[in-house]
Amino acid sequence: MTKRSGCEQCRSGEPLPFAFTMAFHPIVDLAKGDVWGYEALVRGTEGQGAGTILGQVDESNRYRFDQACRTKAIELAGGLFPAGDVRLSINILPNAVYEPAACIRATLEAARRIGFSHQRIMFEFTENERMIDVAHVQRIVADYRQRGFLTALDDFGAGYAGLGLLARFQPDLIKLDMELIRGIAGSPARRAIVSGVIGIARALGVAVIAEGVETPDELAALREAGITLFQGYLFARPTIAALPELSLSEMRRAA
């Protein structure tokens, strides 16, 4: 799809052929004992999972969907946590950003309209599909960071999101894939790999979030490795259009 047809999608005003909303999942900072941010996750309006919604995204609506996700996440976040320094993390499809300056306009307008500081917004580059043009993604990351947004590479260590991409561009954060997390307490190999990734990230000035944490043993192993930012069912499950109740017992135990 050409840049012109992408612009036409966004300007057309044609509604998406399906409805969706967002669920929010906390990212906690155990060094501070508080919520660092919330990731906005696509859900159906009747509770359907992300796969049901993403399965309806194709070339005819990819750009409109990406823009609609950003706006929906900001609108909901503006009502749920409008003030303070808690971040909002939004997943974007890298191949749906045809031109950084053009595609960010609706995001900036939504943030201004809602009164939500764009400096509290983080964009996660998801790798459900291979990045067609990595140099283009480099330009997106550079543009967004220059504008004051945070950027993160999601599912690091799985699929296409690995060291090669990290060598090409350095986001503000990387999110370790849950495959590296699962069973790490009893796996010397996983502990060694995670330790190595943390060392690389520190050398590059990139922060690390461990996602998919489900057990106290996993949490303990990751904290021993030096991670302070966590996300997972151990702390809370995503809640549709609302902020989930955190497991305070886990927060206190980990403090």
**Distance between CA atoms of residues 123 and 67, nearest Å:** 12
pLDDT more than 90, % of the chain: 64
pLDDT attached to residue 1: 40
pLDDT more than 70, % of the chain: 85
**Distance between CA atoms of residues 30 and 46, nearest Å:** 33
| CATH at 246 | 3.20.20.450
Query: What pLDDT band is residue 40 in, cutting at 50, 70 and 90?
Result: very high
pLDDT attached to residue 98: 61
> Does the pLDDT at position 230 exceed 50?
yes
Question: Quick one: average pLDDT of 121-127?
Answer: 84
pLDDT attached to residue 225: 96
> Does the pLDDT at position 134 exceed 80?
no
pLDDT in tens, 42-61: 999 999 999 999 999 998 88
Count of the separate structural domains present in the chain:
1
pLDDT attached to residue 163: 83
Are 220 and 186 in contact, with CB atoms under 8 Å apart?
no
User: Residues 198, 127, 41, 87: is their CA dihedral positive or negative?
Assistant: positive
Alpha helices in 81-215 (DSSP H): 100-103, 105-114, 134-146, 163-168, 178-181, 188-204
Look up residue 171 and give its two tokens.
């986001």
* Structural domain range at position 49: 3-254
